[in-house]
Structure formats: structure tokens, C-alpha cells
Amino acid sequence: MHYKNDAQRAAIIGDAVRDLMDFAAQQGKAVVIEKLDFQQKKRQYQKQNHPQYARMLNAFSYGKIKPRTLRCRDRLV
């Protein structure tokens, strides 16, 4: 995701969330989203001069996955 633009990231996340929600519906299972906060860890890596780890956490699009999952869930209900 690091070298993708915003539109490409949104498309990848949207497709993955749709596939996940379809699979969960077919299996009759619920989707559970864990509450994660990487801000403190990113600051820690930046202070310790580990910018590659901070960049890796920044590229992880958790903040965009959760809202898309909730929107998809609302459409299914």
C-alpha cells in the first residue's frame, strides 16, 4: 500500500471488505473489528530513529478499513 495513491488504496480496501463481508454472510458468521491505536507506537519508532517501522505502521490502513466495514455492514442489514 506504500506506493499506492489514495484511489488505489480505497479500491483495494473496498474490494477486500466486500469480499470479507460476503464470505461472513455466506458462512453465517459475524465480523469482529478490534480497536487498534498505533499513534503511540509510531511516535516511539520515530523517537528511536526507526522511520521504516513508523512508515510501515502509517501505510497500514486500519483507520480506513473500519469505517468501510461498518458502511458495508449497514448496507447488508
Kindly report, residue by residue over 46-77, the tens digit of the pLDDT.
778 777 776 777 666 777 888 888 888 777 66
Cβ-proximal residues to 65 (8 Å cutoff; 6+ apart), any chain: 13, 16, 17, 33
Distance CA 63, CA 37 (A): 9
What's the domain count of the chain?
1
The candidate with the shortest Cα–Cα distance to 75, out of 15, 10, 28, 22, is 22
pLDDT on residue 27? 95
Cβ-proximal residues to 35 (8 Å cutoff; 6+ apart), any chain: none
Is 40 among the domain residues? Answer: yes
Is 1 among the domain residues? Answer: no
Is 43 among the domain residues? Answer: yes
Is 23 among the domain residues? Answer: yes
Structural domain for 38, as ranges: 6-76
Q: Judge contact between 29 and 73, C-beta under 8 A.
A: no
